[in-house]
Amino acid sequence: MKAAREFFRKSGFASWLDPRTALTAAMLAALALVPVYAAAAGEPFALTLFTRIVIMAIAAVSLDLIMGFGGMVSFGHAAYLGIGGYVVGILWKVGIASGLVQWPAAIAISALFALVVGTLSLRTRGVYFIMITLAFAQMVYYVAQGLDRYGGDDGLTINQRSSFSGLIDLNNNTVFYYLCFAALIGSVYLVSRLVNSRFGLVIQGARSNERRMRAIGFPVFRYRVVAFVIAGALCGFAGALNANHTNFISPAIMFWTRSGDLMVMVILGGLATPFGPVIGAVVYLLLEEALSRVTEYSGLFLGPALLLVAIYLRGGIAGFFRKNTP
Amino acid sequence: MLYFIEQCLNGVQLGMLLFLLAAGLTLIFGIMDLVNLAHGSLYMLGAYFAATFAAVTDSFVLGAVLALVVTAAAGMVLEVVAIRPLYGRPHLDHVLGTFGLLLFFNELVRLIWGPAGMTLSLPSEMLNAVQILPGLYYPLYRLVIILVTLAVAALLYLVVMRTRLGMLIRAGASNREMVGALGINIKLLYTLVFGLGAALAGFAGLMQAPILTVQIGMGENILILAFVVIVIGGIGSIRGAFVAALIVGLIDTLGRAFLPDALRAVLSTNAALTLAPALSSMSIYVLMAAILVIRPEGLFPAASR
């Protein structure tokens, strides 16, 4: 018996059976099977809902890179969702529908914006950082409201999804879902590789003790700016996907409560865990959806649920499962 | 020139309301170290209570007083039930928890008062305009807002600087553990401070209610403005909040009033009309970003409060 257990542990099989990994695997399998279910059950709405969830999960993963691993609490992350979306929308409006132009542009402009915001706001700490990132997001929000040519406050309907000249057809919702799903897996992989690299260890070290990292000789500020830019670019990409998904972009996606939603997903799922933000996005958005089907007043239950998570579930859902495994 | 003075008065009026919100927010942050996103909900509750009680009692003043008391009580209950477990936790937990409270209150208000907004009408004698300078008429009610909020600010100053409660508040802000160790009932103090903050927020809401409509989510925009104020002023500093609230109120109002004309001088009329609202809404955030870049801890950092 003992030998069997020993073998079990050494084989690495045990780590696959701990609740957190099992949960993650089950969740990924379920996400992968959503289009199958939607087709079989004749519920195309499920596909729409889960496409949104997957896209928001990408945004949450990008936020976790700076907020969870880097300790940089950005309260303006939804700005990148908007920027990525507006780049797609505006390029479409001026006649450029090719995704090969739209998507890199969305990523590049988000990265550029993140560079400006990061360089200016990373001089501050704590709550001041939270507020200055919020301020920048509000600025973009108002700029978008002033873009009368592109819909202003009402938003812009984008009649056409990005085209990839026959390479891949985004108008097929199943294809689009799997593209988003692949992007999510790619993002999680990217972030987990990043945080375990030397770069990521510097970022995490600076979260724990910035002064010491500086004393060792790391230019902490520059590392942080780079992480901030990567997160912004990734979220801008999610924004481009989102605009393609909804065929619509409006300033509302950048309102501060949207940034709050993203933070809630990350905290709910578990800060600084590879799949935490994904779990958080799935649980939060599904809960929202389920409650709105049962009751007209979903916030009446969702709100207290968040409060209870904040009070009792330290480390979010992922943290809860980690605590139960010795 | 008269128009400029009128707009300045409007700016001061907005600034004073922001101060009411920001003072509570900065007290709660400075003393309990709590990021309270639900502060705007108390502002909303104040307005809804006032509209309801004014309709029931048929008196604006009576409705306002009742609303103030009930909002303060609601704040204290909220503190005991929901906020207390969050003390001493990471700020992110505060964000999560109070964001949940914000969702909760929005829905609660929708459940109780319905999705359509409410109106709070003024007593007829308040609707007049008074001549404050030759040729300059100004709505009496706005003048009342400025004077009453100034009085509240002065009262707050006296309470914080001249009373035993204020001394405890200041002591709590600089060293919580020591105040507790000296035998002060710190839990009660926190509840009182939260109630005070709630009363101030509710007061701001009910004063603003006759000018704007009372509606769900009315606290969300102004909450962010109040956060801007306390960040510019330096978190925990009431004096800073006062100065910053006036600055923000003036810049926001004057920007809205004069930017369109100023832009028209350099741009076409159409472009100016579309650009100006966006630019004036942005201006205070630009200001805040600029101030934080130069002074990362605000104008009146906590050390000098």
**Structural domain contains residue B220:** yes
Q: Which amino acid is at B44?
A: M
**Helix count and strand count (H, E) for chain A:** 15, 2
B187 in reach of chain A (CB within 8 A): no
Write the pLDDT tens digit of every residue in B190-223: 999 999 999 999 999 999 988 888 888 888 888 8
Which of these, A308, A137, A30, A141, lies nearest to B103 by C-alpha position? A308
Per CB-CB distance under 8 Å, the chain A contacts of B285 are: 135-136, 138-139, 142
By C-alpha distance, which of A60, A279, A312 is closest to B100? A312
Q: Is B4 on the interface with A (CB under 8 A)?
A: no
Residue B104 has its nearest CB partner, among A67, A145, A300, at: A300
The closest alpha carbon to B204, from B91, B28, B49, B84, belongs to B49
Cβ <8 Å between B285 and A303: no
Mutual orientation of helices A44-64 and A78-93 as an angle, nearest 10°? 120
For residue B214, the 8-state DSSP code is B
CB-closest option in A124, A145, A260 to B99: A260
Q: Determine the average pLDDT of the residues in B38-48.
A: 94
Task: State the total domains in chain B.
Answer: 1
For the record, the structure tokens of A244 come out as 């393609």
Asked whether residue B111 is assigned to any structural domain, the reply reads: yes
Within a domain: residue B203?
yes
Residue B132 lies in a domain: no
Q: How far is CA A50 from CA A28, A256, A282, B88, in A?
A: 12, 23, 8, 37
Question: For residue B221, what are its two tokens?
Answer: 């925009």
- Nearest-10 crossing angle of helices A198-208, A220-246: 110
B281: in domain:
yes
Measured in residues, chain B has a length of: 305
Task: Let me know: does A272 contact A256? Beta carbons within 8 Å.
Answer: no
pLDDT value for A4:
59
**Which residues, in sequence order, are bridge partners of residue A156?**
A249
Surface of B (284-303) touching A: CB under 8 A: 285-286, 288-289, 292-293, 296-298
Backbone φ and ψ for B138, nearest 5 degrees, come out as: -135, 135
Q: Rounded to a whole number, what is the distance in Å from the CA of A200 to chain B's nearest CA?
A: 21
Q: Does B29 touch chain A (CB under 8 A)?
A: yes
Q: Does B80 touch chain A (CB under 8 A)?
A: no
| Number of other residues whose CB lies within 10 A of the CB of residue B266 | 8
Chain B CB contacts of A124 under 8 Å are 292, 296-297
The share of chain A scoring above pLDDT 70, in percent, equals 93
For residues A26 and A17, give the distance between their C-alpha atoms in angstroms, rounded to a whole number. Answer: 11
Q: What is the pLDDT of residue B305?
A: 40
**Closest among A185, A10, A138, A156 to A93, alpha carbons compared:** A156
The string of pLDDT tens digits covering residues B68-125 is 999 999 999 999 999 999 988 888 889 889 999 999 999 999 999 998 888 888 888 7
For an interface test with B, the pick among A67, A121, A131, A221 (most B C-beta atoms closer than 10 Å) comes out as: A131
B145 within domain boundaries: yes
- Range picked from A80-89, A148-157, B171-180 for highest mean pLDDT: A80-89
As a whole-number percent, the residues of chain A with pLDDT over 90 amount to 65
Q: What are phi and psi of B214, to 5 degrees?
A: -90, 115
| Residue B285 forms part of a structural domain | yes
> Does residue A210 surpass a pLDDT of 70?
yes
Chain A hits for B115, CB-CB cut-off 8 Å, are none
How many angstroms separate the CA atoms of A122 and A133, rounded?
Answer: 9
Residues of chain A contacting residue B95, judged by C-beta atoms under 8 Å apart:
73, 75, 260, 263-264, 267
Across the interface, whether the CB atoms of A131 and B231 are under 8 A apart is answered: yes
Residue B129 falls inside a structural domain: no
Q: How far apart are CA B226 and CA B241, in angstroms?
A: 9
Residue B8, domain extent: 2-120+139-304
**Nearest residue in chain B measured CA to CA from A315:** B93
A285-294 long-range contacts, CB within 8 A, separation 24+: A285/A49, A285/A52, A285/A53, A285/A56, A286/A53, A289/A49
| B37 contact A CB<8A | yes
Write out pLDDT tens, residues A77-128.
999 999 999 999 999 999 999 999 999 999 999 999 999 999 989 988 888 8
Please judge whether B97 and A307 are an interchain contact, meaning their C-beta atoms are less than 8 angstroms apart: yes
pLDDT bin (cut points 50, 70, 90) of residue A16 is low
